[in-house]
Amino acid sequence: MPAPTERGIRLVDQAAGPVLQVASDRYEHADGGEVWVRGAVHVADPVFFTVSVARLAEQERVLVEGLVDDVEPVPPMESGTAKVLGLQHQSDVDIDRPGWAVHDLAESELQARMRADGVAEDDIRELLVDAPGASRADLPDDDRGVALARLRYMRDLAVDETGPRWKRYMIEARDAHVAEAVTTTGRTAVWYGADHINGIGAHLSEAGWRHRERTWTPAIATTYSELELGPVQVKQLVQGWANR
């Protein structure tokens, strides 16, 4: 089967409240290889990372996302988004494990590609700067405010609002890079952001891999009781954010 085309991240309504789910895809090759392309979000419930690491550990080799900052390296910083939302950042996960390695492009290489294509220097810097984190500036300063901020963040992740330039350099170029490193034998996992998994899958399909299954893992959740809203009110709120 070919790679899925449905986006690898979605916001769904469950009995207790909204849940952001991330997809993982399993592929097999005629040479005997198996690869799991496991989606991630950089800020999530701690249990999401616990589950993801446990499943990744079942593979012989794990290729992890991590754009190499070789232009203006800065020391690791605490994630403001994780702090605001009461969640965990992916950088807190220990990837110093046998068979695990960061496999990504370097910023210098992306910059060189963009300059070769005539992208302006200001646009290059804007692409390589992290997006703004979550804010509670206009929300209640209490537990309900945290829940509302979390819901808004979940909604923002579930909606694809990236432009073509971002997709070309920050998504598609890196998809091709990591897919080339997947061998047709053995058990491999690729742990990249949810926006990457369909593109990586498309490259794998072109290389002779067959898609076997897609599973979904809860990444972030909140409850109607925390939000102090019912299902209909939550839908109206999320729709209102979409229309801004």
Domain ranges in the chain are 9-242
- Which range has highest mean pLDDT (1-15, 135-149, 170-184)? 170-184
pLDDT of residue 162: 82
- Quick one: residue 208, left, alpha or beta (phi over 0 = left, psi -120 to 50 = alpha)? left
With residue 89 as reference, give the H or E element that holds it: strand 88-89
pLDDT of residue 78: 60
Amino acid at residue number 24: S
Helices 121-128 & 107-116 angle (0-180, nearest 10): 150
Q: Measured between alpha carbons, how far apart are the two ends of the chain, in Å? A: 39
Q: Which two tokens stand for residue 89?
A: 């950042």
The model scores a pTM over 0.85? yes
Residue with tokens 């819901």: 151
For residue 94, pLDDT over 70 is answered with yes
Lowest mean pLDDT among 39-43, 48-52, 143-147: 143-147
Closest CA to 131 of 107, 94, 162, 110: 162
Give the pLDDT mean for 113-136. Answer: 78
For residue 74, pLDDT over 90 is answered with no
- Beta strands 43-44; 88-89: pairing state: antiparallel
- The residues, ordered by sequence, that sit 6+ positions from 60 with a Cβ below 8 Å of its Cβ are 99, 186, 187, 188
Alpha carbon separation from 100 to 136, 139, 191 (Å, rounded): 36, 40, 10
**Separation between Cα atoms, residue 104 and residue 227, nearest integer Å:** 38
Q: Which two tokens stand for residue 164?
A: 């073509």
Amino acid at residue number 176: A
* Secondary-structure percent of the chain, ordered helix, strand, coil, rounded to 5: 40, 25, 35
Give the pLDDT mean for 199-221. Answer: 97
Give the pLDDT mean for 184-207. Answer: 97
With residue 224 as reference, give the H or E element that holds it: helix 224-227
